[in-house]
């Protein structure tokens, strides 16, 4: 029966990560932390890869009062660096390394990439609106009982005006980084990630 189990595992495991030493060198995690992360990843995704549907299901568990599916879609796209519809452990741990332990510049670059939905190197007002609306949906109406319908739009108007330094209708990476570094609230929220681990 062991042989059958082994063969079964061989057919279900589509992807094994690169050596832990290599990942340790590429991330800000220790070997021990990587082992713990890998165990958790394998527990949720026995095949070693996550597709978008599974990612959405896992993510939804953290936001029971809202609809996290749209935000999870954008997040999945940012994690899926190969753009092949699946996230391997390496992709996951590289992103986590940036979000939890990266420099301010790395975190802001990653966040810019998340907001740049069409990947043209700019954030336009519609992209920012889509992400902000997805965040509001994810947090749910119970979190913000007093929110008006147009709250996301107002939020984006203020933010976009502040970020679009040269008023050309798009936000570049440099404008994004500069604006975020000038905003104490954004800087504080970036530091929250560091306290997670």
Q: For the segment 8-54, what is each residue's pLDDT rounded down to a tens digit?
A: 544 444 556 667 889 999 999 999 999 999 999 998 888 889 999 99
Please check whether residues 92 and 128 belong to one and the same domain: no
Judge if 89 and 128 occupy the same domain.
no
Measured in whole angstroms, how far is the alpha carbon of residue 104 from the centre of its chain? 15
Is residue 5 over pLDDT 80? no
What local confidence, expressed as pLDDT, does residue 10 receive? 45
Same domain, yes or no: 139 and 92: no
Shared-domain flag, residues 35 and 115: no
Q: What is the pLDDT at residue 192?
A: 61
pLDDT of residue 63: 87
- Give the structural domain span for 28: 18-101
**What pLDDT is attached to residue 80?**
94
Same domain for 111 and 89: no
| CATH number of the CATH domain containing 30 | 1.10.238.10
Using an 8 Å Cβ cutoff, are 145 and 66 in contact? Answer: no
Q: H helices of the chain, where?
A: 2-12, 20-26, 31-44, 52-60, 69-79, 89-101, 104-115, 125-139, 151-163, 173-182, 184-194
Asked if residue 12 is part of any domain, the answer here is no
Q: Which phi and psi (to 5°) does residue 6 adopt?
A: -60, -45
In a domain, 4, yes or no: no
Which letter does DSSP use for residue 106 in this model? H
The residues pairing with 64 across neighbouring beta strands, listed in sequence order, are none
Tell me which of 47, 73, 101 is where a domain ends. Answer: 101
- 103 has pLDDT over 60: yes
Q: What is the mean pLDDT of residues 126-144?
A: 83
Determine how β-strand 170-171 pairs with β-strand 123-124: antiparallel
- One domain for residues 122 and 61: no
pLDDT for residue 113 is more than 80: yes
Task: Say yes or no to pLDDT of 190 above 80.
Answer: no
Least confident piece of the model among 52-56, 100-104, 111-115, 193-197: 193-197
Same structural domain, 116 and 68: no
- Per the structure, the count of domains in the chain is 2
Q: What is the mean pLDDT of the chain?
A: 85
Q: Lowest mean pLDDT: which of 17-26, 58-67, 130-139, 153-162? A: 17-26
SS3 28: coil
- Contact between 43 and 50 under an 8 Å Cβ cutoff? The reply is no
Does residue 10 lie in a domain region? no
- What's the pLDDT score for residue 195? 52
197 has a pLDDT exceeding 60: no
pLDDT score of 19: 79
């Amino acid at each position: 029966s062991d042989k059958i189990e082994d063969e079964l595992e061989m057919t279900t495991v589509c992807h094994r990560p690169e050596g832990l030493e290599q990942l340790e060198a590429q991330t800000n995690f220790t070997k021990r932390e990587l082992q713990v992360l890998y165990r958790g990843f394998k527990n949720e995704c026995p095949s070693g890869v996550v597709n978008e549907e599974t990612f959405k299901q896992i993510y939804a568990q953290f936001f029971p009062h809202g609809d996290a599916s749209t935000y999870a879609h954008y997040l999945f796209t940012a994690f899926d660096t190969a753009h092949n519809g699946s996230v391997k452990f390496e992709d996951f741990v590289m992103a986590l390394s940036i979000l939890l332990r990266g420099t301010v510049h790395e975190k802001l670059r990653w966040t810019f990439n998340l907001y740049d939905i069409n990947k043209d190197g700019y954030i336009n007002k519609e992209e920012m609106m889509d992400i902000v609306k997805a965040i509001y949906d994810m947090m749910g109406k119970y979190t913000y009982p007093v929110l008006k319908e147009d709250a996301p739009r107002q939020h984006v108007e203020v933010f976009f005006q502040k970020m679009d330094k040269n008023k050309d209708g798009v936000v570049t990476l440099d404008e994004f980084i500069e604006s975020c570094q000038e905003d104490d609230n954004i800087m504080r929220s970036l530091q929250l990630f560091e306290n997670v681990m």
